[in-house]
Structure 1
Amino acid sequence: MRDLIAVNYETEQPTVSARNLHEQLHIETPFKKWIDRMCEYGFEEYKDFWTKMSESTGGRPSTEYEISIDMAKQICMIQRSPEGKQIRQYFLDLEKAWNTPEQIFARALKMADKTIDKLKSDNAILIEDNERMKPKEIFADAVSTSDTSILIGELAKILRQNGVQTGQNKLFEWMRCNGYLIKRKGSDWNMPTQRAMDMDLFEIKETVINQPNGSTKISKTTKVTGKGQQYFINKLLAAM
Protein backbone atom coordinates (compact mmCIF):
# COMPACT_ATOMS: atom_id res chain seq x y z
CA MET A 1 0.00 0.00 0.00
CA ARG A 2 1.53 3.31 -1.11
CA ASP A 3 1.74 5.83 1.75
CA LEU A 4 -0.32 8.76 0.48
CA ILE A 5 -0.32 10.52 3.88
CA ALA A 6 1.82 9.84 6.92
CA VAL A 7 -0.21 8.52 9.87
CA ASN A 8 0.74 9.19 13.49
CA TYR A 9 0.20 6.05 15.57
CA GLU A 10 1.77 7.41 18.76
CA THR A 11 -1.46 9.00 20.01
CA GLU A 12 -4.48 7.24 21.55
CA GLN A 13 -6.02 7.01 18.11
CA PRO A 14 -4.29 7.34 14.71
CA THR A 15 -4.17 10.91 13.38
CA VAL A 16 -2.92 12.73 10.30
CA SER A 17 -1.77 16.26 9.63
CA ALA A 18 -4.62 18.41 8.33
CA ARG A 19 -2.09 20.51 6.39
CA ASN A 20 -0.74 17.39 4.72
CA LEU A 21 -4.28 16.30 3.82
CA HIS A 22 -4.98 19.78 2.43
CA GLU A 23 -1.94 19.47 0.17
CA GLN A 24 -2.78 15.94 -1.02
CA LEU A 25 -6.34 16.97 -1.86
CA HIS A 26 -4.98 19.86 -3.97
CA ILE A 27 -7.27 22.36 -2.30
CA GLU A 28 -6.89 25.86 -3.75
CA THR A 29 -8.47 27.59 -0.74
CA PRO A 30 -5.80 28.76 1.75
CA PHE A 31 -5.24 26.19 4.50
CA LYS A 32 -6.42 28.33 7.46
CA LYS A 33 -9.66 29.31 5.77
CA TRP A 34 -10.26 25.74 4.60
CA ILE A 35 -9.63 24.01 7.94
CA ASP A 36 -11.80 26.54 9.78
CA ARG A 37 -14.63 25.72 7.38
CA MET A 38 -14.04 21.96 7.76
CA CYS A 39 -14.19 22.19 11.56
CA GLU A 40 -17.64 23.74 11.29
CA TYR A 41 -19.07 20.41 10.06
CA GLY A 42 -19.81 19.27 13.61
CA PHE A 43 -16.32 18.14 14.56
CA GLU A 44 -15.18 18.55 18.18
CA GLU A 45 -11.79 19.69 19.43
CA TYR A 46 -9.94 17.12 21.60
CA LYS A 47 -12.17 14.41 20.12
CA ASP A 48 -11.86 14.81 16.34
CA PHE A 49 -9.00 17.31 16.05
CA TRP A 50 -6.18 18.79 18.10
CA THR A 51 -4.35 22.07 17.57
CA LYS A 52 -0.75 22.97 18.30
CA MET A 53 1.54 25.92 17.58
CA SER A 54 4.66 25.53 15.47
CA GLU A 55 7.14 27.82 13.75
CA SER A 56 7.11 28.05 9.99
CA THR A 57 10.25 28.42 7.88
CA GLY A 58 9.88 32.20 8.13
CA GLY A 59 10.01 32.02 11.90
CA ARG A 60 6.38 33.08 12.37
CA PRO A 61 4.20 30.78 14.53
CA SER A 62 1.41 28.90 12.78
CA THR A 63 -1.45 26.75 14.00
CA GLU A 64 -1.24 23.10 13.00
CA TYR A 65 -4.06 20.56 13.21
CA GLU A 66 -3.89 16.84 13.92
CA ILE A 67 -7.14 15.19 12.89
CA SER A 68 -8.55 11.72 13.48
CA ILE A 69 -8.80 9.23 10.64
CA ASP A 70 -12.61 9.38 10.88
CA MET A 71 -12.55 13.16 10.45
CA ALA A 72 -10.12 12.83 7.55
CA LYS A 73 -12.43 10.32 5.80
CA GLN A 74 -15.43 12.62 6.18
CA ILE A 75 -13.44 15.57 4.84
CA CYS A 76 -12.49 13.47 1.81
CA MET A 77 -16.18 12.77 1.16
CA ILE A 78 -17.01 16.47 1.45
CA GLN A 79 -14.48 17.37 -1.27
CA ARG A 80 -16.20 15.21 -3.91
CA SER A 81 -13.02 14.96 -5.99
CA PRO A 82 -10.97 12.06 -7.41
CA GLU A 83 -8.24 12.85 -4.88
CA GLY A 84 -10.79 12.77 -2.07
CA LYS A 85 -12.10 9.39 -3.21
CA GLN A 86 -8.59 7.96 -3.53
CA ILE A 87 -7.43 9.18 -0.13
CA ARG A 88 -10.65 8.05 1.58
CA GLN A 89 -10.11 4.55 0.17
CA TYR A 90 -6.52 4.74 1.42
CA PHE A 91 -7.79 5.44 4.94
CA LEU A 92 -10.32 2.59 4.70
CA ASP A 93 -7.54 0.18 3.72
CA LEU A 94 -5.42 1.44 6.61
CA GLU A 95 -8.27 0.78 9.03
CA LYS A 96 -8.63 -2.79 7.79
CA ALA A 97 -4.93 -3.37 8.35
CA TRP A 98 -5.09 -1.57 11.72
CA ASN A 99 -7.83 -3.91 12.96
CA THR A 100 -6.34 -7.24 11.89
CA PRO A 101 -5.70 -9.70 14.77
CA GLU A 102 -1.96 -9.36 14.19
CA GLN A 103 -2.03 -5.57 14.54
CA ILE A 104 -4.30 -5.70 17.59
CA PHE A 105 -1.95 -8.19 19.22
CA ALA A 106 1.08 -6.04 18.29
CA ARG A 107 -0.53 -2.97 19.88
CA ALA A 108 -1.37 -4.96 23.00
CA LEU A 109 2.28 -6.05 23.28
CA LYS A 110 3.42 -2.45 22.83
CA MET A 111 1.09 -1.29 25.58
CA ALA A 112 2.30 -4.11 27.82
CA ASP A 113 5.92 -3.09 27.19
CA LYS A 114 5.13 0.50 28.16
CA THR A 115 3.39 -0.70 31.33
CA ILE A 116 6.35 -2.92 32.22
CA ASP A 117 8.80 -0.06 31.63
CA LYS A 118 6.74 2.21 33.88
CA LEU A 119 6.55 -0.45 36.59
CA LYS A 120 10.31 -0.96 36.36
CA SER A 121 10.86 2.79 36.71
CA ASP A 122 8.47 3.05 39.67
CA ASN A 123 10.08 0.01 41.29
CA ALA A 124 13.57 1.49 40.86
CA ILE A 125 12.44 4.66 42.62
CA LEU A 126 10.93 2.62 45.46
CA ILE A 127 14.12 0.58 45.84
CA GLU A 128 16.20 3.77 45.90
CA ASP A 129 13.92 5.32 48.53
CA ASN A 130 13.99 2.11 50.55
CA GLU A 131 17.79 1.93 50.50
CA ARG A 132 18.03 5.57 51.49
CA MET A 133 15.57 5.20 54.35
CA LYS A 134 16.76 1.77 55.55
CA PRO A 135 19.47 3.03 57.96
CA LYS A 136 16.99 5.47 59.49
CA GLU A 137 14.30 2.81 59.86
CA ILE A 138 16.70 0.28 61.40
CA PHE A 139 17.87 2.93 63.83
CA ALA A 140 14.31 3.91 64.74
CA ASP A 141 13.27 0.26 65.19
CA ALA A 142 16.27 -0.34 67.46
CA VAL A 143 15.39 2.47 69.85
CA SER A 144 11.72 1.43 69.90
CA THR A 145 12.69 -1.82 71.64
CA SER A 146 14.91 -0.05 74.15
CA ASP A 147 13.79 -0.01 77.78
CA THR A 148 16.32 2.67 78.64
CA SER A 149 15.18 6.26 78.95
CA ILE A 150 17.69 8.93 78.00
CA LEU A 151 18.13 12.63 78.63
CA ILE A 152 16.93 15.09 76.02
CA GLY A 153 20.52 16.22 75.52
CA GLU A 154 21.52 12.63 74.69
CA LEU A 155 18.66 12.39 72.20
CA ALA A 156 19.93 15.59 70.57
CA LYS A 157 23.38 14.02 70.13
CA ILE A 158 21.88 10.88 68.56
CA LEU A 159 19.78 12.98 66.17
CA ARG A 160 22.77 15.08 65.18
CA GLN A 161 24.80 11.94 64.42
CA ASN A 162 22.00 10.88 62.06
CA GLY A 163 21.87 14.14 60.12
CA VAL A 164 19.39 16.27 62.11
CA GLN A 165 20.97 19.66 62.67
CA THR A 166 20.02 20.20 66.30
CA GLY A 167 21.54 20.50 69.76
CA GLN A 168 20.33 20.21 73.35
CA ASN A 169 19.04 23.79 73.72
CA LYS A 170 17.55 23.80 70.22
CA LEU A 171 15.76 20.48 70.87
CA PHE A 172 14.39 21.72 74.19
CA GLU A 173 13.08 24.82 72.44
CA TRP A 174 11.48 22.75 69.65
CA MET A 175 9.75 20.49 72.17
CA ARG A 176 8.42 23.48 74.09
CA CYS A 177 7.15 25.21 70.95
CA ASN A 178 5.43 22.03 69.73
CA GLY A 179 3.63 21.29 72.98
CA TYR A 180 5.72 18.42 74.33
CA LEU A 181 7.33 20.33 77.21
CA ILE A 182 5.86 23.01 79.44
CA LYS A 183 7.12 26.42 78.32
CA ARG A 184 5.62 28.37 81.21
CA LYS A 185 8.48 29.61 83.42
CA GLY A 186 8.31 28.20 86.93
CA SER A 187 8.87 24.94 88.79
CA ASP A 188 7.25 22.97 85.93
CA TRP A 189 9.37 24.53 83.16
CA ASN A 190 10.68 21.86 80.75
CA MET A 191 8.51 19.21 82.39
CA PRO A 192 6.42 17.06 80.02
CA THR A 193 2.96 18.31 79.12
CA GLN A 194 0.00 16.10 79.99
CA ARG A 195 -0.41 15.31 76.30
CA ALA A 196 3.18 14.08 76.03
CA MET A 197 2.82 11.96 79.16
CA ASP A 198 -0.40 10.41 77.82
CA MET A 199 1.58 9.47 74.69
CA ASP A 200 4.27 7.78 76.88
CA LEU A 201 6.98 9.94 75.31
CA PHE A 202 8.63 10.89 78.60
CA GLU A 203 9.10 9.79 82.14
CA ILE A 204 10.10 11.91 85.11
CA LYS A 205 13.07 10.74 87.13
CA GLU A 206 12.95 11.91 90.73
CA THR A 207 16.17 12.11 92.73
CA VAL A 208 16.36 12.84 96.47
CA ILE A 209 19.15 15.28 97.28
CA ASN A 210 20.36 15.59 100.87
CA GLN A 211 21.11 19.18 101.77
CA PRO A 212 24.05 20.13 104.09
CA ASN A 213 21.57 21.42 106.68
CA GLY A 214 19.99 18.00 106.98
CA SER A 215 16.95 18.74 104.81
CA THR A 216 16.15 16.94 101.59
CA LYS A 217 15.22 18.18 98.13
CA ILE A 218 13.59 16.29 95.29
CA SER A 219 15.05 16.96 91.83
CA LYS A 220 12.93 16.14 88.79
CA THR A 221 14.52 15.30 85.45
CA THR A 222 12.67 14.77 82.17
CA LYS A 223 13.85 11.68 80.28
CA VAL A 224 12.78 10.35 76.88
CA THR A 225 11.35 6.82 76.86
CA GLY A 226 12.16 4.22 74.17
CA LYS A 227 8.80 4.95 72.59
CA GLY A 228 9.50 8.66 72.78
CA GLN A 229 12.90 8.21 71.14
CA GLN A 230 11.31 6.41 68.19
CA TYR A 231 8.56 9.03 67.95
CA PHE A 232 10.91 12.02 67.87
CA ILE A 233 13.46 10.32 65.62
CA ASN A 234 10.79 9.41 63.03
CA LYS A 235 9.25 12.88 63.22
CA LEU A 236 12.49 14.82 62.89
CA LEU A 237 14.08 12.54 60.28
CA ALA A 238 10.93 12.78 58.15
CA ALA A 239 11.21 16.57 58.24
CA MET A 240 14.73 16.49 56.75
Structure 2
Amino acid sequence: MNNVTPIENQGQRVLTSDQLAELYGVSTDVIKKNFSNNRDKFVEGVHYIKLEGLALKEFKNRVNNVHLVGKNANTLYLWTKRGAARHSKMIGTDTAWDVFDSLEENYFNPKPQINLQGLSPQTQFAIQAAQAMAEQERKLAQIDHKVDAISEIVSTSTMDWRRATRDIITKIAHMRGDDYQVTRKDIYKDVEQRGGYSLSTRLTNLRNRMAGEGQSLSKRNKTNKVDVIGNDKRLIEIYMAVVKDHAIKYRVWANEY
Protein backbone atom coordinates (compact mmCIF):
# COMPACT_ATOMS: atom_id res chain seq x y z
CA MET A 1 0.00 0.00 0.00
CA ASN A 2 3.03 2.25 -0.20
CA ASN A 3 1.96 3.55 -3.62
CA VAL A 4 -1.42 4.81 -2.39
CA THR A 5 -1.50 8.59 -2.10
CA PRO A 6 -2.61 9.31 1.50
CA ILE A 7 -5.66 11.55 1.84
CA GLU A 8 -6.93 12.95 5.12
CA ASN A 9 -10.20 14.72 5.78
CA GLN A 10 -11.89 15.60 9.06
CA GLY A 11 -9.00 14.07 10.97
CA GLN A 12 -9.09 10.62 9.37
CA ARG A 13 -7.62 8.85 6.36
CA VAL A 14 -9.99 8.34 3.45
CA LEU A 15 -9.97 7.10 -0.15
CA THR A 16 -11.71 8.41 -3.28
CA SER A 17 -13.97 6.14 -5.33
CA ASP A 18 -11.34 6.00 -8.07
CA GLN A 19 -8.66 4.90 -5.60
CA LEU A 20 -10.94 2.28 -4.09
CA ALA A 21 -11.88 0.90 -7.51
CA GLU A 22 -8.26 0.64 -8.62
CA LEU A 23 -7.22 -1.10 -5.41
CA TYR A 24 -10.09 -3.60 -5.50
CA GLY A 25 -9.60 -4.36 -9.18
CA VAL A 26 -12.98 -3.09 -10.39
CA SER A 27 -14.24 -0.08 -12.31
CA THR A 28 -15.33 3.11 -10.59
CA ASP A 29 -18.83 2.40 -11.91
CA VAL A 30 -18.95 -0.73 -9.74
CA ILE A 31 -18.23 1.35 -6.63
CA LYS A 32 -20.90 3.88 -7.65
CA LYS A 33 -23.45 1.17 -8.47
CA ASN A 34 -22.91 -0.67 -5.18
CA PHE A 35 -23.39 2.57 -3.32
CA SER A 36 -26.48 3.52 -5.32
CA ASN A 37 -28.11 0.08 -4.93
CA ASN A 38 -27.32 -0.19 -1.22
CA ARG A 39 -27.51 3.42 -0.09
CA ASP A 40 -29.43 2.42 3.04
CA LYS A 41 -26.37 0.46 4.22
CA PHE A 42 -24.11 3.52 4.13
CA VAL A 43 -24.25 6.28 6.72
CA GLU A 44 -22.81 9.69 5.92
CA GLY A 45 -20.08 10.60 8.37
CA VAL A 46 -19.54 6.94 9.23
CA HIS A 47 -18.93 5.19 5.92
CA TYR A 48 -18.34 8.19 3.69
CA ILE A 49 -17.87 11.95 3.58
CA LYS A 50 -19.69 13.88 0.87
CA LEU A 51 -17.96 17.00 -0.35
CA GLU A 52 -19.57 19.67 -2.50
CA GLY A 53 -19.62 23.43 -2.81
CA LEU A 54 -17.12 25.32 -0.67
CA ALA A 55 -15.98 22.17 1.18
CA LEU A 56 -15.06 20.53 -2.14
CA LYS A 57 -13.28 23.66 -3.36
CA GLU A 58 -11.20 23.82 -0.18
CA PHE A 59 -10.38 20.13 -0.48
CA LYS A 60 -9.22 20.54 -4.09
CA ASN A 61 -6.94 23.37 -3.04
CA ARG A 62 -5.50 21.28 -0.22
CA VAL A 63 -4.83 18.09 -2.21
CA ASN A 64 -1.44 18.08 -3.89
CA ASN A 65 -2.18 15.37 -6.47
CA VAL A 66 -4.52 16.99 -9.00
CA HIS A 67 -5.41 13.58 -10.49
CA LEU A 68 -7.22 12.51 -7.30
CA VAL A 69 -10.11 14.86 -8.01
CA GLY A 70 -11.64 15.62 -11.41
CA LYS A 71 -11.28 19.29 -12.30
CA ASN A 72 -14.98 19.62 -13.15
CA ALA A 73 -16.31 17.39 -10.35
CA ASN A 74 -19.05 19.11 -8.33
CA THR A 75 -19.49 16.28 -5.82
CA LEU A 76 -16.88 13.98 -4.28
CA TYR A 77 -17.34 10.95 -2.05
CA LEU A 78 -14.52 10.05 0.33
CA TRP A 79 -14.65 6.56 1.85
CA THR A 80 -13.64 5.93 5.44
CA LYS A 81 -12.19 2.65 6.72
CA ARG A 82 -15.70 1.38 7.48
CA GLY A 83 -16.89 2.44 4.05
CA ALA A 84 -13.96 0.69 2.37
CA ALA A 85 -14.75 -2.44 4.39
CA ARG A 86 -18.38 -2.36 3.30
CA HIS A 87 -17.40 -2.06 -0.36
CA SER A 88 -14.96 -4.97 -0.08
CA LYS A 89 -17.75 -7.13 1.30
CA MET A 90 -20.13 -6.15 -1.49
CA ILE A 91 -17.53 -6.87 -4.18
CA GLY A 92 -16.77 -10.15 -2.44
CA THR A 93 -13.64 -11.20 -4.34
CA ASP A 94 -10.46 -12.53 -2.72
CA THR A 95 -8.65 -9.51 -4.14
CA ALA A 96 -11.03 -7.06 -2.46
CA TRP A 97 -10.85 -8.89 0.88
CA ASP A 98 -7.05 -9.15 0.82
CA VAL A 99 -6.59 -5.54 -0.28
CA PHE A 100 -8.84 -4.27 2.52
CA ASP A 101 -6.85 -6.31 5.05
CA SER A 102 -3.71 -4.55 3.84
CA LEU A 103 -5.46 -1.15 3.80
CA GLU A 104 -6.64 -1.65 7.36
CA GLU A 105 -3.16 -2.51 8.55
CA ASN A 106 -0.99 -0.17 6.52
CA TYR A 107 -3.14 2.73 5.28
CA PHE A 108 -5.91 3.40 7.77
CA ASN A 109 -3.84 2.38 10.80
CA PRO A 110 -0.17 3.08 10.03
CA LYS A 111 2.05 1.60 12.72
CA PRO A 112 4.27 3.95 14.71
CA GLN A 113 7.91 2.94 14.59
CA ILE A 114 9.30 1.98 17.98
CA ASN A 115 13.03 2.43 18.56
CA LEU A 116 14.16 -0.36 20.89
CA GLN A 117 17.74 0.85 21.09
CA GLY A 118 18.77 1.90 24.56
CA LEU A 119 15.96 -0.03 26.26
CA SER A 120 16.69 -2.80 28.72
CA PRO A 121 16.40 -6.44 27.48
CA GLN A 122 13.37 -6.91 29.74
CA THR A 123 11.60 -3.89 28.24
CA GLN A 124 12.44 -4.97 24.69
CA PHE A 125 11.06 -8.44 25.41
CA ALA A 126 7.84 -7.00 26.84
CA ILE A 127 7.33 -4.76 23.79
CA GLN A 128 8.02 -7.61 21.36
CA ALA A 129 5.63 -9.92 23.24
CA ALA A 130 2.89 -7.29 23.11
CA GLN A 131 3.49 -6.80 19.37
CA ALA A 132 3.28 -10.56 18.77
CA MET A 133 -0.01 -10.74 20.64
CA ALA A 134 -1.41 -7.81 18.67
CA GLU A 135 -0.32 -9.48 15.42
CA GLN A 136 -2.14 -12.69 16.37
CA GLU A 137 -5.31 -10.73 17.16
CA ARG A 138 -5.01 -8.94 13.82
CA LYS A 139 -4.79 -12.23 11.94
CA LEU A 140 -7.90 -13.57 13.69
CA ALA A 141 -9.72 -10.33 12.87
CA GLN A 142 -8.76 -10.72 9.21
CA ILE A 143 -10.15 -14.25 9.16
CA ASP A 144 -13.37 -12.91 10.73
CA HIS A 145 -13.54 -10.29 7.97
CA LYS A 146 -13.16 -12.88 5.22
CA VAL A 147 -15.88 -15.18 6.53
CA ASP A 148 -18.23 -12.43 7.68
CA ALA A 149 -18.01 -10.99 4.18
CA ILE A 150 -19.65 -14.14 2.84
CA SER A 151 -22.67 -13.53 5.06
CA GLU A 152 -23.23 -10.11 3.50
CA ILE A 153 -22.96 -11.57 0.01
CA VAL A 154 -25.95 -13.81 0.80
CA SER A 155 -28.32 -10.86 0.64
CA THR A 156 -27.20 -9.86 -2.85
CA SER A 157 -26.10 -12.97 -4.74
CA THR A 158 -26.80 -16.64 -3.95
CA MET A 159 -24.31 -17.81 -6.59
CA ASP A 160 -21.52 -15.72 -5.08
CA TRP A 161 -22.32 -17.14 -1.64
CA ARG A 162 -22.20 -20.72 -2.91
CA ARG A 163 -18.95 -20.11 -4.76
CA ALA A 164 -17.30 -18.44 -1.78
CA THR A 165 -18.22 -21.21 0.67
CA ARG A 166 -17.16 -23.87 -1.83
CA ASP A 167 -13.76 -22.22 -2.23
CA ILE A 168 -13.20 -22.09 1.52
CA ILE A 169 -14.21 -25.73 2.00
CA THR A 170 -11.82 -26.68 -0.81
CA LYS A 171 -9.00 -24.94 1.08
CA ILE A 172 -10.01 -26.67 4.32
CA ALA A 173 -9.95 -30.06 2.56
CA HIS A 174 -6.49 -29.28 1.20
CA MET A 175 -5.17 -28.36 4.65
CA ARG A 176 -6.70 -31.53 6.09
CA GLY A 177 -5.25 -33.63 3.30
CA ASP A 178 -8.74 -34.96 2.74
CA ASP A 179 -11.37 -35.29 0.04
CA TYR A 180 -13.73 -32.34 -0.55
CA GLN A 181 -16.85 -34.47 -0.04
CA VAL A 182 -15.56 -35.90 3.23
CA THR A 183 -14.71 -32.42 4.51
CA ARG A 184 -18.11 -31.05 3.54
CA LYS A 185 -19.80 -34.02 5.22
CA ASP A 186 -18.00 -33.20 8.48
CA ILE A 187 -19.12 -29.58 8.20
CA TYR A 188 -22.73 -30.67 7.64
CA LYS A 189 -22.46 -32.91 10.73
CA ASP A 190 -21.31 -29.98 12.86
CA VAL A 191 -24.12 -27.82 11.47
CA GLU A 192 -26.66 -30.47 12.49
CA GLN A 193 -25.18 -30.81 15.97
CA ARG A 194 -25.04 -27.09 16.57
CA GLY A 195 -28.50 -26.33 15.24
CA GLY A 196 -30.33 -29.49 16.24
CA TYR A 197 -31.46 -30.06 12.64
CA SER A 198 -31.41 -33.07 10.35
CA LEU A 199 -30.28 -31.82 6.95
CA SER A 200 -31.12 -35.18 5.38
CA THR A 201 -34.72 -34.97 6.61
CA ARG A 202 -35.04 -31.40 5.42
CA LEU A 203 -33.60 -32.36 2.04
CA THR A 204 -36.16 -35.16 1.69
CA ASN A 205 -38.97 -32.79 2.61
CA LEU A 206 -37.71 -30.20 0.11
CA ARG A 207 -37.56 -32.75 -2.70
CA ASN A 208 -41.08 -33.95 -1.82
CA ARG A 209 -42.38 -30.38 -2.03
CA MET A 210 -40.69 -29.98 -5.39
CA ALA A 211 -42.35 -33.19 -6.60
CA GLY A 212 -45.72 -31.86 -5.45
CA GLU A 213 -45.05 -28.72 -7.47
CA GLY A 214 -44.43 -30.84 -10.56
CA GLN A 215 -40.71 -30.19 -10.83
CA SER A 216 -38.67 -32.74 -12.78
CA LEU A 217 -36.90 -35.70 -11.19
CA SER A 218 -33.52 -34.52 -12.50
CA LYS A 219 -33.96 -31.14 -10.85
CA ARG A 220 -35.03 -32.75 -7.58
CA ASN A 221 -31.98 -35.02 -7.64
CA LYS A 222 -29.68 -32.06 -8.16
CA THR A 223 -31.08 -30.34 -5.08
CA ASN A 224 -28.68 -30.79 -2.16
CA LYS A 225 -28.06 -29.79 1.44
CA VAL A 226 -26.64 -26.42 0.43
CA ASP A 227 -30.07 -25.65 -1.07
CA VAL A 228 -31.65 -26.62 2.25
CA ILE A 229 -29.27 -24.29 4.11
CA GLY A 230 -29.94 -21.48 1.65
CA ASN A 231 -33.67 -21.60 2.41
CA ASP A 232 -33.22 -20.89 6.13
CA LYS A 233 -31.55 -17.72 7.42
CA ARG A 234 -30.77 -19.33 10.79
CA LEU A 235 -29.16 -22.30 9.06
CA ILE A 236 -27.04 -19.96 6.95
CA GLU A 237 -25.76 -18.26 10.11
CA ILE A 238 -24.89 -21.63 11.67
CA TYR A 239 -23.25 -22.80 8.45
CA MET A 240 -21.11 -19.64 8.28
CA ALA A 241 -20.03 -20.09 11.90
CA VAL A 242 -19.07 -23.73 11.33
CA VAL A 243 -17.12 -22.97 8.14
CA LYS A 244 -15.31 -20.20 10.01
CA ASP A 245 -14.42 -22.52 12.90
CA HIS A 246 -13.07 -25.16 10.51
CA ALA A 247 -11.08 -22.52 8.61
CA ILE A 248 -9.46 -21.33 11.83
CA LYS A 249 -8.86 -24.87 13.09
CA TYR A 250 -7.04 -25.90 9.93
CA ARG A 251 -5.23 -22.54 9.52
CA VAL A 252 -6.62 -21.98 6.03
CA TRP A 253 -5.35 -18.41 5.74
CA ALA A 254 -2.29 -18.68 7.98
CA ASN A 255 0.15 -18.30 5.08
CA GLU A 256 -1.59 -15.24 3.64
CA TYR A 257 -0.50 -12.81 6.39
Q: TM-score, normalised to structure 2's length?
A: 0.31
Q: Which one has more relative contact order, counting CA pairs under 8 Å at least 6 apart? A: 2
Q: Rg bigger for which structure?
A: 1
